[in-house]
Amino acid sequence: MLRANAELVAFRLVRREYPAFDGSGAARWGGRWSQPGRAVIHAAETYSLAVLESLVHFNIGELPPKLEMIQIRIPAGVSCEVLEAESLPECDGVQPNQVSQDFGDRWYDERRSCVLLVPSRLSPFERNILIHGQHEEMRTIDVGAPQPVRLDERLRQRLHGRGSRP
């Protein structure tokens, strides 16, 4: 385990009608890094990765209209674990998320750190940031006010199949 030596900034897209920062979605449905029952808060290192992750998970070719972005500031000194992509290869013949869920479940259950940085499947050069929703260091994390999700009109047109190539 490490201590973050500088502030980490993370971005999370959330539906307006649900709690923005309590891990209840992951606790209910699970995800790539945890099985149901664990309050894991998912975020991304960058706003653009948060948008990509949301597009994949909503699986509808566009973002829901009531989606908002929250910026999360994790202060220096918060316990942090970093998982490098080569440290946890997904195994052929195993349920798609089984290896990563097992890792994430152990991290959560053992309370090894407040933050876990994991590789993104969508962008091999960026990371997702998992926050342990029940960790004692949670109180030190600053969650910004929700802001509207903003996308360039060209991307919106492409998502709706109306974009044309130059």
DSSP secondary structure letter of residue 5:
S
Note the pLDDT of residue 133.
Answer: 94
Q: Which domain holds residue 55?
A: 2-159
Residue 90 above 70 pLDDT? no
pLDDT in tens, 52-86: 988 887 756 667 778 899 999 999 999 999 998 87
Q: Is residue 132 part of a domain?
A: yes
Q: Is residue 123 part of a domain?
A: yes
Rounded to two decimals, the pTM is 0.87
Measuring CA to CA, which residue among 63, 55, 76 is closest to residue 8?
A: 76
Q: Is residue 166 part of a domain?
A: no
Q: Is residue 127 part of a domain?
A: yes
Total count of domains within the chain: 1
**Separation CA 19–CA 108 (nearest Å):** 20
CATH assignment of the domain containing 133: 3.90.175
pLDDT in tens, 27-36: 999 989 999 9
Please classify residue 26 by burial: count the beta carbons closer than 10 Å to its beta carbon, then call 0-12 exposed, 13-18 middle and 19+ buried.
buried
**Separation CA 129–CA 157 (nearest Å):** 29
Q: Is residue 164 part of a domain?
A: no
